[in-house]
Every structure is written in structure tokens, then in C-alpha cells.
């Protein structure tokens, strides 16, 4: 199954934000509370509440960052 290229920016934003949210949520929870039996449920809740903020943020910011990087690289 292939997704049409016109959806690439949206797919990029969805995947990048999901990966970042999962990693950062786990890191913050482990650093602040340590590894415990309720961690998986807490981590999942953290991911599900944070991703709706991260996804549109990445979708809006990514094109701007690409332009900046393009303007400062050879």
C-alpha cells in the first residue's frame, strides 16, 4: 500500500511528532518518577494527551525550519 506523495508533509509531521512524543514522554516520566509498575499506563496517557499538541506544531513549524536550514546551508 502506497500513500500518495501529496500527503507526505502530513505523514512526516504525524510520524515525527509521534516518535518525539513517545521518546520524550518516556524520558521525562522515568527521570521524574523512576521505573514502576504503573509506568506503561502513565506513559500511554502522556503520549495520547501530548500528541494532539505536537502534531499541529510540527506541521506548522517544519516548513519554516526547512526554509531556515535551506537559507543557511550551501
**Predicted pLDDT of residue 74:** 85
| Mean pLDDT of the 37-66 span | 96
b/e per residue 26-45 (b: at least 16 CB within 10 A): beebeeeeeeeeeeeeebee
Contact 26, 43 (CB under 8 A): yes
Nearest Cα to 26, choosing from 45, 2, 3, 9?
Answer: 45
Q: Tell me the pLDDT tens digit for each residue of 14-48.
A: 999 999 999 999 999 999 999 999 999 999 999 99
**Predicted pLDDT of residue 1:** 87
CA 63 – CA 19 distance, rounded (Å) = 18
Nearest Cα to 40, choosing from 28, 50, 26?
Answer: 26
**Predicted pLDDT of residue 5:** 95
- Please check the confidence at residue 8 and state whether its pLDDT lies above 90: yes
Amino acid at each position: 500500500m502506497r500513500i500518495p506523495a501529496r500527503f507526505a508533509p502530513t505523514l512526516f509531521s504525524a510520524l515525527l511528532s509521534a516518535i518525539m512524543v513517545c521518546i520524550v514522554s518516556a524520558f521525562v516520566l522515568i527521570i521524574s518518577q523512576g521505573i514502576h509498575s504503573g509506568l506503561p499506563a502513565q506513559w500511554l496517557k502522556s503520549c495520547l494527551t501530548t500528541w494532539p499538541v505536537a502534531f499541529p506544531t510540527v506541521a506548522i513549524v517544519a516548513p519554516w525550519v526547512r526554509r531556515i536550514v535551506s537559507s543557511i546551508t550551501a
